[in-house]
Chains A and B, each alone.
Chain A
Amino acid sequence: MAKHQVFLVHGMGSFEKDWSLGIQRQLKEIYASYPKVKSFGLVDDIEFAEITYNDVFEKWRRQWKKDATDASKAATMLGIDTGLAQTLIDLGGAASGNSFFQTHILDVVMYRFIKPMSEEVCQSVHQQILSRLNSAPQNGIPPWSVIAHSLGTAVTNDTLHAMFSQPDADGKLLSNNYAPWYLFMVANVSKILWNKGGDFYSSKVHPHVKNTEGMCYKYCNFHHELDPFTLIDPFSPPDYWFPNNTNDLKFYIDVKIDKDDIKELNIHSLSHYLSHPSINAPIIRTLAQDWDGVIESADFSTAQRNWQKNKLIPAALQKAQADLAAYVLSAQSPWNDLVTKLKTYRDAVLTVGINPRDGESK
């Protein structure tokens, strides 16, 4: 049978084919550092599968750029440089440049507010997942899970909800036999970007007890106490996610990285999150089918100690915490404030750290 497929879904930014190779390498190196995981060859049971959806934004941007350029050339020839026509041409081209705003923040805004775009993104992810599963022999279709980051958590959430509530031409839903096993949502922003109406938490995407309705066996929510993106509208599932007499931890875990645990200002980056033992250990334990003992307590403590040794020194830590606190906004803040603050944050952090771009092209 094919190996457990772990789909990697990127966040906002200019991600292209092979963006995840660095992340895959990072995870394999981390897991090789846990003796039992290494000796049992557990990572060999997993196959990472990369998902890319940035091409949808990119194709629209290219089209806007070409159309605005053509119109601009005609306007130049005709001597038009003011008025409504020129304003429209400028506006048409404004969304198509290569600046950080146009390739990062605008993607998030477009995903949230421009339905044709979010629908095409989700349909693309839907197709990539099913296509990958379908590439296995019919009698060996593997289980699958998702590690999603930032904007990718919203894309994953929305895609999965649509995927398992979409009737086919005969009115039948995709069989639950193809539902994912585990969802690892890193820097989860799926709630604030939800645009499908109703109560966000009532969507199809929630964990389930065996033989009851639900999407996955376990939902893991990972966030950092100072990550400005996750603080806007924090993910916090209601009680009805957990039926009575069930062990919550079996179906859902919420890991909050402490505010003192900062290796670099870009605490939002996927690589920063994955480097932390409190994140990478639950992922591999869960992927090993909830086998906690696959990382012995002593090995976990060693990993934690090693991580703490490399975090920012106190003076730098205090400055980073103060800087990060300045970016915090709430869900009640107007969108233009959110966009401005988040742009400032990303501008500040993109040039520092071990892998701040998480594999995106520049």
Chain B
Amino acid sequence: MRTVIRLLFFISTAVLFGIPAYACDMGEQALKELISVSTYDDALARISDPACLGDREAEGKKAQGDKVIREGNPLVNRFNDLTPDTKEVTSRATAVTSALKALADYTEKEISINSQPSTWRALTRDIQNMNTQWSAITPDKSTQTVENIAAEFKVNKWEHITKADGGEIVLDGQKFYLLAKTCEDKKQPCPAFESQRDLIRVVNLMAQLARYASYDSLAKHLHEAEVELQRWETYRSKGQHQYIWELWLNGQNMGEDLCPKDKGTGIQRGFCAVPTSQWIVLHPEAGLRWSHSAQQSGDLKPALIVELFGKYSWEWDAAPNQSSMTNRLGASLVAAYTNEPSGNKWSYGPMFHFGDGYNVAFTRSGSGTWGLLLNLNIADRYFGGTQKIDSYLKCLNKPNFGQLLQGQNFCN
């Protein structure tokens, strides 16, 4: 009676307001409503979408008075119960075996109940064969063994039921058509429709199970992608900063050690590993120069440093900080321009890179004056880290180098 009332309500709503959109659901009531405004065959095509297994939450538990009842399809509920989230490879193998057994038990029963016994029989054999492989996995078997068997559980045998080929699927070596025509008369029950609907549900669950079985592959690749992405971030922000021409040059220098190629096709295989070295070429940056000459005591002056050519290298740290740089070292040849009492002048010398982006250079001008150059990272450290170049350049003439190294903040 309740069903009839709902159906009448639905039809009147459809007449008054146009046909409403159906939530994708393989539940009995939703199917009746769907068939009432379409055909058995269209309804079948509609619910062949894997999402039509139903949403996990919608099929979850529903409180009814003091009792908690399960909604949704019992087979799907059982499948969900047997395949929980897990990080343990052996637990996953056990779950897959249990789910395969549950599906095989279900399909075996359907052989005698349903209207398409040959299809159900072939499906049962295929599931049982898969179950035989998985049942051979005992708890002492290695992760490698589980992964090898999982690799043979291929989803493309099970998924992608398409109207274009009538829902063709090969089961136990024979072709079957899960979207083959069923019944024209919507007023009569249609056993073929019911059988094909239930077959599609099982086939979609098998596709889900194939993905579940190979989940560790997804998890591993995701973890490695996260590490590599973070390394690229580190490469940009914690390596020696690169201008566009340096980035291009360093990209040209990424050879097969970082970007291996497939020998057959000559195409790069996978992603390039993030480099562990970089060339520095014609890199201008602001810095500070502490100079000392016979005529004047030491003080700090703004400097423009141009790193002419150099190299910087590092290693990637071990887990858990795999995206951190360690053993960072580098050297370059620099030219530095500063204002000196004797006039503006260029000085030249080596620069050394160490630690967390700290650069120090020793340069000598044409007049023989030696100077010590610091990059802004190292200057920032002694000025409190947040100082901007324009503000601390203004107070550069105030401190002497000794005071600077003592960590005094002169700009406040």
Spell out A's residues near B (CB within 8 Å).
Answer: 1-4, 35, 38-42, 44-45, 59-60, 63-64, 67-68, 70-71, 73-75, 77-80, 84-85, 88-89, 91-92, 95, 110, 113-117, 119-120, 122-124, 126-127, 130-131, 133-134, 137-143, 161-163, 165-170, 172, 174-179, 181, 196-199, 202-203, 208, 210-211, 217, 250, 288-294
Contacts and interface: CB of A to CB of B under 8 A. Distances in A.
A91 B244 CA distance: 9
A166 B229 CA distance: 14
B151 A175 contact: yes
Contacts of B272: 115, 119
A11 B337 CA distance: 43
A176 B155 contact: yes
Interface string B150-174: 1101111101111111000010000
B270 A139 contact: no
Contacts of A294: 45
Contacts of A63: 236-237, 241
18 contacts: A39-B21, A64-B243, A64-B244, A67-B243, A73-B390, A78-B304, A85-B284, A116-B275, A117-B247, A120-B232, A126-B229, A130-B218, A141-B212, A174-B221, A196-B268, A210-B156, A289-B160, A291-B164
Interface of B: 19-24, 34, 37-38, 42, 45-46, 48-56, 79-80, 83-86, 147, 150-151, 153-157, 159-165, 170, 204, 208-215, 217-222, 224-226, 228-229, 232-233, 235-237, 241, 243-245, 247-248, 250-252, 254, 259, 261-262, 265-272, 274-275, 282-287, 302-304, 306, 337-339, 344, 376, 389-390, 393
Contact of A116 (B155, B251, B266): B251
Contacts of B165: 250, 290
A44 B23 contact: yes
A165 B34 CA distance: 43
Given A71-B286, A138-B83, A293-B42, A178 B50 contact: no
A40 B155 contact: no
B110 to A, nearest CB: 21
Nearest to B151: A175
B337 A168 contact: no
Contact of B45 (A3, A68, A291): A291
A191 B244 CA distance: 24
Given A44-B23, A115-B252, A1 B55 contact: yes
A114 B244 contact: yes
B155 A177 contact: yes
Nearest to A66: B241
Given A41-B23, A127-B229, A60 B247 contact: yes
Nearest to B288: A74
Given A41-B21, A138-B85, A169-B220, A161 B225 contact: no
A78 B344 contact: yes
Nearest 10 Cβ contacts at the A-B interface: A166-B270, A115-B251, A41-B21, A74-B286, A198-B266, A198-B267, A290-B164, A139-B83, A175-B214, A196-B268
Nearest to B25: A41
A289 B151 CA distance: 25
A116 B247 contact: yes
Contact of B306 (A88, A177, A292): A88
A108 to B, nearest CB: 14
A21 to B, nearest CB: 21
A130 B271 contact: no
Given A44-B21, A176-B155, A4 B51 contact: yes
Contacts of A119: 232, 271-272, 274
B222 A162 contact: no
A262 B95 CA distance: 56
A1 B159 CA distance: 13
Contact of B218 (A167, A174, A203): A174
